[in-house]
A and B are shown apart, each in its own frame.
Chain A
Amino acid sequence: MQYSYFLMVFLVIVGIPLFMILISKGARFVINRKRNVSDSIYECGEPSIESSWKQIPVSYFKIALIFILFDIEIVFIFPWILSLGNSSELSYLSFITFIIILFIGWIYAYKKGYLKWEM
């Protein structure tokens, strides 16, 4: 399957301009196009105060940091599964050790309270 992975790149490269054309031409169907108050943020409600690009609670970033740790662990599982065809006892042993070490890391984060949600 020499084209398998190239095809995904091809789909994205073809798809993005296609939908760009759809969006830009879609505006041509609009008959009565007025530009007034509808350009403001959340036009049907209260006028918004100050910019919306402000600080965000730090809890989101903590979650993201712990996610990166666990996501890298998942990335390590994929090649292990691919090599299962000709594997020895050592490969299973090292995988189980790897998971257990990671689980200890989870216990540490849990005891420290990083997984709790606090504002």
Chain B
Amino acid sequence: MFIEFLSFSKPIFQSITTLILIVAYLVWLERKIAARMQSRIGPYLVGKPHGWLQPLADALKLMSKDDSKPSSSDSLLFNFGPIWVMVVSLSAFALLPFYFDNPMINASLSLMLFIAISSLIIVGIFVSGWSSSNKYSLISVMRSVAQIISYEIPLVISLLIPCILIGSLSFGDIIESQKNIWFIFSPGLGQISFVIFFISALAEGNRIPFDLSEAESELVSGYTTEYSGIKFALFYLAEYVHLFGISVLGSIIFFGGPHGPFITSNLIIVIKSLVFFTFIVFVRWSFFRIRIDQLLRFNWSKLIPISFVVLLIACLTKYFSEFN
């Protein structure tokens, strides 16, 4: 039984180890794009063509930094926060049919499991901000919790709309049903639910129009203010893992997953999610930050009623397609 379990979980561990490498280079990619958008060069010196060794250098630097901890902080929770964030965001990735033939895609509840696990990140963020006994961190995590739990509702509803039309929650069925036409091209419902998904995905990933928890001008560095060295590196990596997970999710649910225009391959998921990630980076470097009250009011008084109406329309569409 143990051998069977090992052979079952091997592709998942493979994809997680590749994932860490990909995510390290996502940081480099974001810095490059940001530099180009601001007419700079970006990382250039470490590694000759375009600084390709920069992620390695960053990791080594962060590992050799002094590991400081405020004396009045809650020591156990302070150390537990970054570990929890990293473990949860990596294990959520085991569910995505990404890069290798993942056996988890045929689990009948894989989408629900992904949502459930990836929303546990907020526990780690809250614990780390609260335990570092810094007022900036505390304000930051309170904002972060309010923001992430609020935007989870439209996010989940927009992900459920294709599931209602298909009638299944497993990634395998969702990918299979988009063989001929991607969900983004289905008239009306596809576009509206993608817009809802994109807005709330930006908020879930703490990206710029909604990065209230790391507002530099008011909260120094948010919940990572007291962290340094390897713990800070874990937070930083986990943020990008989470973001890449969201872009893979978007490319599976709305852009057909491995079904390309001509060929069907797992590499196409990676390409699509890199394009999605690049789009998120463009949004980050061209927008401003909005206030916390505007953020929450926009969610509760606009996004949620709109997503409810779209949910009703999807339900009626399914009803008429089944009984007429």
Residues of A near any B CB (own CB < 8 A): 1, 3-5, 7-8, 10-12, 15-16, 19-20, 22-23, 26-27, 29-31, 33-34, 38-43, 48, 51-54, 56-57, 60, 63-64, 66-67, 70-71, 74, 77-78, 81-82, 84-85, 87, 89, 92, 95-96, 99-100, 102-103, 106, 110, 115-117
Minimum CB–CB distance for A16 against chain B, Å: 6
Minimum CB–CB distance for B310 against chain A, Å: 11
Contact of A70 among B71, B103, B304 (CB under 8 A): B304
Assess A23 versus B83: contact at CB under 8 Å? Given A48-B135, A89-B323.
Answer: yes
Which of B25-33, B229-237, B241-249 binds A?
B229-237
A residues within 8 A CB of B305? 103, 106
Decide: B150 and A51 in contact? CB cutoff 8 A.
no
**A33, A70, A99 — most chain B CB neighbours (10 Å):** A70
| Residue B38 is within 8 A (CB to CB) of chain A in the complex | no
* Cα of A8 to Cα of B9 in the assembled complex, Å: 10
* Cα of A92 to Cα of B300 in the assembled complex, Å: 26
- Residue interface mask B1-30, A partner, CB < 8 A = 1: 000110011001000000000000000000
A residues within 8 A CB of B225? 42
Minimum CB–CB distance for B180 against chain A, Å: 21
Residues of B near any A CB (own CB < 8 A): 4-5, 8-9, 12, 63-73, 79, 82-84, 86-88, 90-91, 94-95, 103-104, 106-110, 112-113, 117, 130, 132-138, 142, 145-146, 149-150, 152-153, 156-157, 160, 163-164, 167-169, 220, 225-226, 229-231, 234, 292-293, 296-297, 300-301, 304-305, 308, 311-312, 315-316, 318-319, 322-323
* Cα of A7 to Cα of B296 in the assembled complex, Å: 36
* Cα of A110 to Cα of B287 in the assembled complex, Å: 29
Decide: B315 and A95 in contact? CB cutoff 8 A.
yes
* Cα of A96 to Cα of B150 in the assembled complex, Å: 23
Decide: B136 and A42 in contact? CB cutoff 8 A.
yes
Could you list 8 A-B pairs, sorted by A, with CB under 8 Å? A3-B8, A4-B104, A5-B107, A15-B91, A56-B138, A56-B142, A60-B146, A82-B108
Decide: A10 and B9 in contact? CB cutoff 8 A.
yes
Decide: B103 and A71 in contact? CB cutoff 8 A.
no
Assess A11 versus B66: contact at CB under 8 Å? Given A41-B133, A60-B145, A77-B160.
Answer: no
* Cα of A7 to Cα of B137 in the assembled complex, Å: 34
Q: Would you call the interface of chain B mostly helix, strand, loop, or mixed?
A: helix
Minimum CB–CB distance for A97 against chain B, Å: 11
Known: A16-B84, A42-B134, A106-B304. 19 other contacts (CB 8 A): A4-B107, A7-B8, A8-B94, A11-B12, A11-B94, A15-B91, A23-B82, A27-B67, A39-B68, A52-B138, A64-B145, A67-B153, A74-B160, A78-B109, A81-B160, A81-B163, A81-B169, A103-B305, A117-B292
Total A-B Cβ pairs within 8 A: 187
Minimum CB–CB distance for A91 against chain B, Å: 10
A residues within 8 A CB of B79? 20, 23
Decide: A5 and B113 in contact? CB cutoff 8 A.
yes
Decide: B91 and A11 in contact? CB cutoff 8 A.
yes
A residues within 8 A CB of B73? 41
Contact of B296 among A26, A30, A117 (CB under 8 A): A117
Assess A41 versus B70: contact at CB under 8 Å? Given A1-B106, A30-B64, A96-B315.
Answer: yes
* Cα of A8 to Cα of B231 in the assembled complex, Å: 23
